[in-house]
């Protein structure tokens, strides 16, 4: 299928790359790497984001991120995008283009383009873009390599997730050959905390409570703490990783008071129990191993209700 | 130098491997990988630990860890060990052996053995053991590959530290070829906390202080906290990652009172400054970006002395 995609790219002059909405680092790293690759082939290319202002945070570590200009495309390439719905408001751009390509690694991909390349064995879409560049005989450079590295390192959780393969490390080795600044990328993506973020972690750890001999671990943060520390949604949502890391915990919970309404947001994680079912009892949802819900009322009452539900699951 | 080490190994029948005291995962993974490699060569080999009871926590994810038996060695191999002092009480075992080998990657290595192989470009001693096995034509297996992976992934912080190279990923790719359980190793090494460990992190975060507009970030834990929480050396040594994650910090420090003597252990990290030089001022050492030392006296005085030295570096 690379053959047909290569031909479509060679034929085109103006190419629009479409990341999925709420694009993550794999998606954005892949998209901007592809843009730089296409430019090396003498094409006009741009990445059209759903969220234009401000650019997603990840763009801060990527190369080739520029102001959005418009382009009358003769080819669009959707990147890391499982279905048309994930293109959001840009679906019209995709549909109005005669030539369409879909490059992805999600098993749920709906093969929505004229030319589809979906490799579910690829740990990241970044791996596919790497192979596409090789196939098209485009020599990488440091900028492209850094974008691809950011894509791959983020979707593999620093090469730790089960999707990581021998091939992932072979590609990472080749990317290192371009003298990529891997420490900076890793720090940007995984290790940069503001003082307020660390203070939020501190608040969460100070609230850590365990129940049922440590089978349940819970942290909580109050509205006052969140406002005082100017916590973002991202900051707050990461707190679940602390109770989750407790070696005895079968279910972990993070309670945080909403800063805008009289509700408590609850995140649930488990490696054993179906926490989507628990979240559903409170009008929430999510995945079996990771779910969430909002409970009206104050923190004390919300905790009591949710813990009661957990105590029914864990004897 | 591999040639002479290979000859020494071939000549020997009974080999004792000596990790440094308070051995970390690179040291232990390398040591137990080497043991299994030597066994494949038909040698009697054992890893003699300084801390026998209980085994260091890391041993829980390594292969080939067994009860300590004694061995009348005709060869000793120090692994990941910068100098003789780091052998602790096992220095006699080393000195009484006619043939001695020193395999390490620390730049401060004192070349204390008859045969020394010190590769400061190796991200981990595990990389050197991998190459030694190749050089000696020993085919790896899954057990050995998992030990080497644990060594490398820990000393490179999941391939994120500046020591990580193209070669590190090439080795990681080859280790993946043995179907290693990399997710389990990563979870064990990076994502499992005891309740006491989380309480220790809490104590450290509660002590977080910043100096020089946040360019220096420091945490401290007291003897009382360490004893109350039954903290291991490993637990305590990981605390540096919290001040290190502060986005403004150029140098990060962790102070912890020794539980056995009237000294304060200091860990230093920087991405910009040579903290080995700072550690050296207090009789310590290590890498340019990661070093440590012990300062006699109480916590207050040790902090004052060390911070004074830092203030001279950071205006």
> Could you report the per-residue pLDDT of B137-196, keeping only the tens digit for each?
999 999 999 999 999 999 999 999 999 999 999 999 999 999 999 999 998 898 888 899
A115 CA: distance to closest CA in chain B (Å): 31
B163 CA: distance to closest CA in chain A (Å): 9
Q: Residue B209's closest CA among B246, B155, B171?
A: B246
Beta strands in chain B (DSSP E): 14-19, 44-47, 75-79, 100-104, 115-118, 209-211, 216-221, 251-257, 263-270, 285-286, 290-296
DSSP run (H or E) holding A312: helix A299-313
Give the residue from B120, B155, B190 where a domain finishes: B190
Q: How far apart are CA B72 and CA B60, in angstroms?
A: 27
Q: Please provide the average confidence, as pLDDT, over all residues in chain A.
A: 94
pLDDT tens column, A26-67: 999 999 999 999 999 999 999 999 987 778 888 989 999 987
B206 → chain A, closest CA residue? A202
Angle (nearest 5°) at CA B147 between B145 and B149: 65
Q: How far apart are CA B120 and CA B104, in angstroms?
A: 8
- What was the pLDDT predicted at A70? 80
- Asked whether the beta carbons of residue B206 and residue A208 sit closer than 8 angstroms, the reply is no
The 8-class DSSP code of residue A51 comes to: -
* Average pLDDT of the residues in A187-216: 94
Where does the pLDDT of residue B302 fall: very low under 50, low under 70, confident under 90, or very high at 90 and above? very high
Q: Please provide the average confidence, as pLDDT, over all residues in chain B.
A: 95
Q: Residue B117's closest CA among B6, B280, B18, B276?
A: B6
Give the residue from A158, A175, A191 where a domain finishes: A191
Residues in chain A within 8 Å Cβ distance of B190:
160
B266 CA: distance to closest CA in chain A (Å): 21
* Average pLDDT of the residues in A85-108: 95
B142 CA: distance to closest CA in chain A (Å): 14
A96 vs B237: which has the higher pLDDT: A96
* Domain co-membership, B279 together with B238: yes
Please, what is the end-to-end C-alpha distance for chain A in angstroms? 53
Query: For residue B232, what is the domain's CATH number?
Result: 3.10.310.30
DSSP run (H or E) holding B234: helix B233-237
Q: How far apart are CA B289 and CA B251, in angstroms?
A: 9
CA distance to A60, A136, A168, A174, B221, per residue, from A180 (Å): 16, 22, 16, 10, 37
Give me the sign of the Cα torsion angle A305, A307, A311, A312. positive
Q: Which of B158, B192, B208 sits opposite A198 (nearest CB)?
A: B208
* Domain co-membership, B155 together with B202: no
- Asked whether the beta carbons of residue B208 and residue A187 sit closer than 8 angstroms, the reply is no
Beta strands in B58-98 (DSSP E): 75-79
Residues in chain A within 8 Å Cβ distance of B176:
164-166, 168-169
Task: Specify whether the CB–CB gap between A300 and A268 falls below 8 A.
Answer: no
Q: Write A285-293 long-range contacts (CB < 8 A, 24+).
A: A291/A267, A292/A265, A292/A266, A292/A267, A292/A268, A293/A265, A293/A266, A293/A268
Q: Residue B291's closest CA among B268, B274, B310, B270?
A: B268
* Domain co-membership, A168 together with A29: yes
- What was the pLDDT predicted at B235? 81
Q: How many domains does chain A have?
A: 2
Q: How far apart are CA A169 and CA B127, in angstroms?
A: 15
- Asked whether the beta carbons of residue B247 and residue A174 sit closer than 8 angstroms, the reply is no
B 216-255: CB under 8 A from A: 241-242, 244-248
Residues in chain A within 8 Å Cβ distance of B244:
191
Give me the sign of the Cα torsion angle A165, A170, A174, A177. positive
pLDDT tens column, A163-184: 999 999 999 999 999 999 999 9
pLDDT tens column, B263-280: 999 999 998 899 999 999
Q: Which of A169, A177, A202 sits opposite B172 (nearest CB)?
A: A169
Q: Longest Cα pair distance anywhere in chain A, in angstroms?
A: 65
Contacts of residue A255, defined as CB under 8 A and 6 or more positions apart, other chains included, come to: A218, A219, A220, A221, A264, A265, A266, A299, A302, A303, A306
* Domain co-membership, A295 together with A248: yes
Q: Is B214 left (phi over 0), alpha (psi -120 to 50) or beta?
A: left
Q: Which of A153, A160, A177 sits opposite B186 (nearest CB)?
A: A160
| Position B232 pLDDT exceeds 90 | no
* Domain co-membership, B59 together with B180: yes
Sheet arrangement for strand A209-211: A209-211, A216-221, A251-257, A263-270, A290-296, A285-286
- Asked whether the beta carbons of residue A245 and residue B192 sit closer than 8 angstroms, the reply is yes
- What was the pLDDT predicted at B46? 95
B 144-163: CB under 8 A from A: 153, 157-162
* Domain co-membership, A220 together with A168: no
pTM for the whole thing? 0.81
* Domain co-membership, B242 together with B119: no
Please, what is the end-to-end C-alpha distance for chain B in angstroms? 44
* Domain co-membership, B181 together with B266: no
Residues in chain A within 8 Å Cβ distance of B183:
160-162
B165 → chain A, closest CA residue? A176
Q: How many CB pairs under 8 A join A and B?
A: 116
Q: Is B308 on the interface with A (CB under 8 A)?
A: no
pLDDT tens column, A231-269: 877 778 789 999 999 999 999 999 999 999 999 999 999
- What was the pLDDT predicted at B56? 85
Range(s) of the domain holding residue A61: 2-191
Query: For residue B107, what is the domain's CATH number?
Result: 3.90.1640.10
Q: How far apart are CA B5 and CA B117, in angstroms?
A: 8
Q: Is A170 on the interface with B (CB under 8 A)?
A: yes
Residue A258: exposure state from Cβ atoms within 10 A (0-12, 13-18, ≥19): middle
ipTM given for this complex: 0.82
Residues in chain A within 8 Å Cβ distance of B242:
198
Q: Is B169 on the interface with A (CB under 8 A)?
A: yes
Please give the share of chain B, as a percent, with pLDDT higher than 70: 100
- The pair of structure tokens assigned to B10 is 């071939």
Q: Residue B80's closest CA among B157, B21, B140?
A: B21
A 190-209: CB under 8 A from B: 190-195, 198, 201-202, 205-206, 208
* Domain co-membership, B147 together with B87: yes
Measured torsion, CA atoms of residues A232, B254, A217, B57, in degrees rounded to the nearest 10: 140
Q: Which of B193, B214, B244 sits opposite A246 (nearest CB)?
A: B193
CA distance to A206, A211, B35, B199, per residue, from A255 (Å): 13, 15, 48, 19
DSSP run (H or E) holding A276: helix A275-280
Task: Specify whether the CB–CB gap between A120 and A155 falls below 8 A.
Answer: no
Residues in chain B within 8 Å Cβ distance of A168:
173, 176
* Domain co-membership, B213 together with B176: no
* Domain co-membership, B267 together with B201: yes
Where does the pLDDT of residue A203 fall: very low under 50, low under 70, confident under 90, or very high at 90 and above? very high
Give the residue from B141, B164, B190 where a domain finishes: B190
Where does the pLDDT of residue A288 fall: very low under 50, low under 70, confident under 90, or very high at 90 and above? confident
> Which residues face A102 on adjacent strands?
A78, A116
Q: How far apart are CA B291 and CA B274, in angstroms?
A: 9
| Position B59 pLDDT exceeds 80 | yes
* Domain co-membership, A178 together with A221: no
- Asked whether the beta carbons of residue A183 and residue B161 sit closer than 8 angstroms, the reply is yes
- Asked whether the beta carbons of residue A176 and residue B158 sit closer than 8 angstroms, the reply is no
- Asked whether the beta carbons of residue B173 and residue A170 sit closer than 8 angstroms, the reply is yes
pLDDT tens column, A191-202: 888 899 999 999
Where does the pLDDT of residue B4 fall: very low under 50, low under 70, confident under 90, or very high at 90 and above? very high
Which range is least confidently modeled, A123-132, A226-235, A256-265, B103-112? Answer: A226-235
A177 CA: distance to closest CA in chain B (Å): 6
- What was the pLDDT predicted at A34? 98
- Asked whether the beta carbons of residue B177 and residue A195 sit closer than 8 angstroms, the reply is no
């Amino acid at each position: 299928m690379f053959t047909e995609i290569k031909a479509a790219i060679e034929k085109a002059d103006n190419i629009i790359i479409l990341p999925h909405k709420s694009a993550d680092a794999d998606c954005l790293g892949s998209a901007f790497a592809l843009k730089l690759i296409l430019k090396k082939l003498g094409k006009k290319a741009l990445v059209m984001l759903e969220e234009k202002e401000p650019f997603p945070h990840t763009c801060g570590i990527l190369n080739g991120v520029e102001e959005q200009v418009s382009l009358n495309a003769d080819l669009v390439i959707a990147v890391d995008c499982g279905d048309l719905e994930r293109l959001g408001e840009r679906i019209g751009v995709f549909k109005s283009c005669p030539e369409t390509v879909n490059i992805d690694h999600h098993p749920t991909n709906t093969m929505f383009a004229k030319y589809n390349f979906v490799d579910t064995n690829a740990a990241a879409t970044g791996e596919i873009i790497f192979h596409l560049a090789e196939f098209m005989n485009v020599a990488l450079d440091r900028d492209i390599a850094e974008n691809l590295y950011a894509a791959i390192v983020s979707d593999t959780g620093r090469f730790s997730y089960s999707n990581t393969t021998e091939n992932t490390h072979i590609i990472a080795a080749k990317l290192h050959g371009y003298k990529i600044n891997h420490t900076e990328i890793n720090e940007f993506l995984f290790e940069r905390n503001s003082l307020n973020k660390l203070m939020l972690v501190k608040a969460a750890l100070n609230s850590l409570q365990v129940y049922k001999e440590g089978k349940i671990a819970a942290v909580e943060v109050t509205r006052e703490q969140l406002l005082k520390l100017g916590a973002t949604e991202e900051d707050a949502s990461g707190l679940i990783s602390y109770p989750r890391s407790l070696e005895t915990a079968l279910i972990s919970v993070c309670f945080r008071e909403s800063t805008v309404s009289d509700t408590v947001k609850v995140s649930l994680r488990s490696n054993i129990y179906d926490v989507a079912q628990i979240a559903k009892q409170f009008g929430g949802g999510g995945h079996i191993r990771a779910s969430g819900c909002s409970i009206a009322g104050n923190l004390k009452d919300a905790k009591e209700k949710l813990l009661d539900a957990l105590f029914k699951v864990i004897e």
